[in-house]
């Protein structure tokens, strides 16, 4: 069977552009095509579902609602931490990304929502939580994954994105 359409278990190379509220937030222009293993949740579900069945060379625009993207904005996903928990010489600024470890040793990203001398308020929402995502995608290549890629459930070769 020819691998000429996007389906589960194929590695898809795609060019993409992500626009939110009319502003281009991300695109493959600089980094080159993004590769992902279809059907393994490597990319957000709303985009992956829409790409199934696309042919090489085909392009389309996809609008992804928050629940199929980075989730709804969670008003509860904030934490106030004492300023003393952070290195004294650390220059905090609003919107900066921090990596924090919870009690279970899980790393997660948090963003500085606000801070003063005593308290730092962290926002654990993804920056695109609650956002409607407008993607332009173009499939440029399809291939079978290697055994290792299938085993790990994501693309290895030449992949600059580490999760």
Percent of the chain residues past pLDDT 90, beyond the cut: 81
Q: What is the pTM of this model?
A: 0.79
| Structure-block tokens of residue 14 | 């795609």
**Domain 78-123, second-level architecture:** Beta Barrel (2.40)
Question: pLDDT tens digit string along 47-94?
Answer: 999 999 999 999 999 999 999 999 999 999 999 999 999 988 999 999
Between strands 23-27 and 11-20, the pairing is antiparallel
The pLDDT, as a whole number, for residue 162 is 45
11-70+129-152 is classed CATH 3.10.50.40: yes
Question: pLDDT tens digit string along 8-48?
Answer: 999 999 999 999 999 999 999 988 999 999 999 999 999 99
pLDDT at 158 over 80: no
The pLDDT, as a whole number, for residue 156 is 79
Give one word for 22, left, alpha or beta, with left for phi > 0 and alpha for psi -120 to 50.
left
The pLDDT, as a whole number, for residue 107 is 84
* d(C-alpha 149, C-alpha 79), whole Å: 37
What residue segments make up the domains of the chain, in order of their start?
11-70+129-152, 78-123
């Amino acid at each position: 069977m020819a691998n000429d359409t996007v389906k589960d278990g194929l590695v898809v190379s795609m060019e993409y552009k992500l626009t939110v509220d009319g502003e281009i937030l991300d695109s493959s222009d600089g980094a080159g095509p993004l590769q992902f293993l279809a059907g393994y949740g490597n990319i957000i579900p709303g985009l992956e579902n829409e790409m199934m069945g696309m042919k090489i060379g085909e392009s389309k625009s996809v609008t992804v609602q928050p629940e199929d993207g980075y989730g709804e904005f969670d008003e509860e996903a904030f934490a106030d931490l004492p300023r003393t928990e952070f290195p004294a010489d650390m220059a905090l600024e609003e919107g900066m990304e921090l990596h924090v470890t919870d009690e279970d040793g899980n790393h997660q990203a948090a963003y500085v929502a606000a801070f003063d001398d005593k308290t730092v308020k962290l926002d654990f929402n993804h920056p695109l939580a609650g956002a409607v995502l407008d993607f332009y995608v173009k499939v440029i290549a399809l291939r079978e994954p290697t055994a290792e890629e299938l085993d790990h459930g994501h693309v290895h070769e030449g992949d600059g994105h580490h999760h």
